[in-house]
Structure 1
Amino acid sequence: MSSKRSEIGTGRDILALVLLVGLCLGVGGLGGAVTAESVTTWYATLNKPSFNPPNWIFGPVWTALYILMGVAAWRVWRAADRDTARGPLAVFALQLAVNLGWSVAFFGLRNPGLAVVVILLLDLLVLATTLMFRRIDRLAAWLLVPYLAWISFATLLNVTIWRLN
């Protein structure tokens, strides 16, 4: 691993941090827009398991996760040279797109079965991203652990909802 710089706080660093966190929150916002109508209509009619969290918990949890994801990506961008960071950040971007794809599949298309396929792919991509980030910056990898835990829970929830309906 080749470090790009040791000091923090340059204008470029701060701009990159804002852009990466903003990108993650923007994807979350798009997912929220896809989700909004279905939560109060279609989703409310589904059979859900007893361990299904209340709807109000999802917004704060996802907001925190998107911020952690953006910081993790920023740490990798900052810690590694362009060639070293390119692959891990490309996988990060792919998992972010698949994350949005899950919202489209589950809430937009109202298709829990398709969403199971998408979330299983997301699980693999987030695990791969975490392992790739770990080679560059251990803290960046640790910042993704809550995300990995949450989507693992979401996978169980998605599969259970699919089976119940």
Structure 2
Amino acid sequence: EASCRFEDSGGGPYSYPVVVDDSSDWQEPADQQQSDGFVWASLCYMLILFSMRPSSDAASAPYAVIDARRLDITHVDHAALSIGFVGRDLHSGGKADIGVVRGDQGQSSLEQHEPVSVVVLLPDGRWREASIPKLELKFGSVQEMQEWVAKLVRGPLSFKSREL
């Protein structure tokens, strides 16, 4: 099990567990309810899709989407099994740093970056864009986390993809 933490502009943390899209033997944990915010994250080339069920489930449909090309990684924490993201500065002309964003003191510098743009898909076919200061994905294992980092850096976070 992995988790995804969204924080609103007021700074209050909201934690949503996320499982990387490996749903071959999926069973919803007995202690997790849909109302607890249990969601699945799938990386589909340049998009991170969030849904209530794994993609192999016929009832699965994403309810939120993030364009991973518009993200910068702020940290990869092996102890906490988490990856942090902020929005990429679109005025940098595609020359944004790939990898860890650092401030003067070696800490993440969120003030210098754009918020993360999340597209929420509404049930009636409309959509709404929401902005959150940062995104944090938490994983169940180091291997899962490393796979996501490798896929992101080779794909949507590569310089070639950012110029699209």
Tell me whether the two structures share a fold, i.e. TM-score over 0.5.
no
TM-score by length of 2: 0.29
The answer to which structure has the higher strand fraction is: 2
More helix by share: 1
